[in-house]
A and B are shown apart, each in its own frame.
Chain A
Amino acid sequence: DVKVTQSSRYLVKRTGEKVFLECVQDMDHENMFWYRQDPGLGLRLIYFSYDVKMKEKGDIPEGYSVSREKKERFSLILESASTNQTSMYLCASSFPTGGSEQYFGPGTRLTVT
């Protein structure tokens, strides 16, 4: 059974804190994604990684960074959390071929106060 796990389901942080969100997949996927999902705005890609230590910016990378030191793990870092980063954060992974599907984790609902 395919599995993408995220470190927390719910998280509450204060403005200015450094926040780490972790994602682990057990499917040996090369590609991993971080999205945020907000009502009325749909899914938006923050960062994409296609290999260990490789990354590409998505549509909304400002205020975020990522780390991929191992193939199975992709971390999202909020350098200094702000209230406008309150959101549902979703991690996904896939094989790099055109007909592949993305598998998602359960999501982390982050609230920044």
Chain B
Amino acid sequence: DAKTTQPTSMDCAEGRAANLPCNHSTISGNEYVYWYRQIHSQGPQYIIHGLKNNETNEMASLIITEDRKSSTLILPHATLRDTAVYYCIVSSDMGRRALTFGSGTRLQVQP
């Protein structure tokens, strides 16, 4: 699986959009971009994933650049409950293989 690079930490004001970047310059054509988050002492939560096109669900939007070398997770109206560590993962086979988190981005939503 391709390696990802994320900022260590970010702050966001409550009610504002949180934009979390991820670089994955060695991504292969059949690899998906996944985002998970983990709130302290809870199980990881799946957020969204995509292959080439931008994706949106009830939680977030995923913007993937045309060359697929980077992506941005957007939480449109961050709340205090969105404070968590966010992980960007690139994988072609997540349904059948162990999931591995990198160090992720610690997002702190400020009141």
What 1/0 flags go to B74-111 for Cβ under 8 Å of A?
00000000000000000011111011110000000000
Q: Name B's interface SS.
A: loop
A92 at the interface (CB under 8 A from B): yes
A64 at the interface (CB under 8 A from B): no
CB-based contact A101/B34 at 8 Å: yes
Q: Name A's interface SS.
A: strand
Q: Once the chains are docked, how many angstroms separate the CA of A5 from the CA of B41?
A: 15
- Chain A residues lying within 8 Å of B32, measured Cβ to Cβ, are 98-99
Given contacts A43-B99, A99-B51, A102-B99, contact A94 B94 (CB under 8 A): yes
CB-based contact A101/B101 at 8 Å: no
CB-based contact A104/B43 at 8 Å: yes
Task: Tally chain B residues at the interface, Cβ within 8 Å.
Answer: 20
Task: Output the least CB separation between A34 and chain B (Å).
Answer: 10
Given contacts A98-B30, A98-B93, A99-B51, contact A59 B45 (CB under 8 A): no
One of A66-74, A78-86, A105-113 at the interface: A105-113
Listed A/B pairs (14) with beta-carbon separation below 8 Å: A35-B98, A50-B96, A59-B98, A90-B43, A92-B99, A94-B94, A94-B95, A95-B95, A98-B96, A99-B49, A101-B34, A102-B99, A104-B44, A104-B45
Name A residues whose Cβ lies closer than 8 Å to a Cβ of B: 4, 31, 33, 35, 42-45, 48, 50, 58-59, 88, 90, 92, 94-107, 109
